[in-house]
Amino acid sequence: MTPIDRLIAEQDIARLINMFGLLNDSADWAGVAAMFTEGAKFVRPAGGDPLVGRDAIRAAFESRPPRKSCHLITNIIVDVTSNDEATARSTLVLYAAPAGAMDAGSPALIGGFNDRLVRTADGWRFSERAGFLDLKVSFA
């Protein structure tokens, strides 16, 4: 892999990671699910059992109550390990409120994701996305 190819892969993966937050905030569950490989594993930052497979990931997102959210994703570090594989780590700050509300009414959550990615015919996709939480930041 040339240095330019590596930079392109890093940029494509960083875009995928940022797009995850944007699609999540707009409740585009089909778009979110399409970011994963067919047999991907996903663990939400709040924890729980891994969701396995694109259909299970989409169904889990669709089953959540509607909300307004803002995912701020920063500190994206990508390590391209081969032409078709990479790992990444990113930091997440999440603000969320019930649908229609302007007051979040709950703490901001700070955590992140550890990702494994593969290049597919459709571009880079998550093969494993494991979220974690570090802090809850109170508004008071």
Mean pLDDT of 38-44: 97
* Burial category of 35 from C-beta neighbours within 10 Å (exposed 0-12, middle 13-18, buried 19 and up): buried
pLDDT band at residue 106 using 50, 70 and 90 as cut-offs: confident
Domain ranges of the chain: 3-137
Structural domain 3-137, CATH architecture: Roll (3.10)
Q: What is the CA radius of gyration of the chain?
A: 15
Give residue 124's pLDDT: 98
Q: How far apart are CA 74 and CA 131, in angstroms?
A: 14
Give residue 132's pLDDT: 95
Give residue 139's pLDDT: 57
pLDDT band at residue 38 using 50, 70 and 90 as cut-offs: very high
pLDDT at 121 exceeding the cut of 90: yes
Q: pLDDT exceeding 90 applies to what percent of the chain?
A: 75
Q: Which residue has the higher pLDDT, 134 or 85?
A: 85
Residues 6 or more apart whose CB falls under 8 angstroms from that of 126 comprise: 16, 20, 35, 36, 37, 40, 42, 115, 116, 117
Entry pTM: 0.91
Contact 57, 35 (CB under 8 A): no
DSSP state of 50: P
Q: How far apart are CA 135 and CA 123, in angstroms?
A: 33
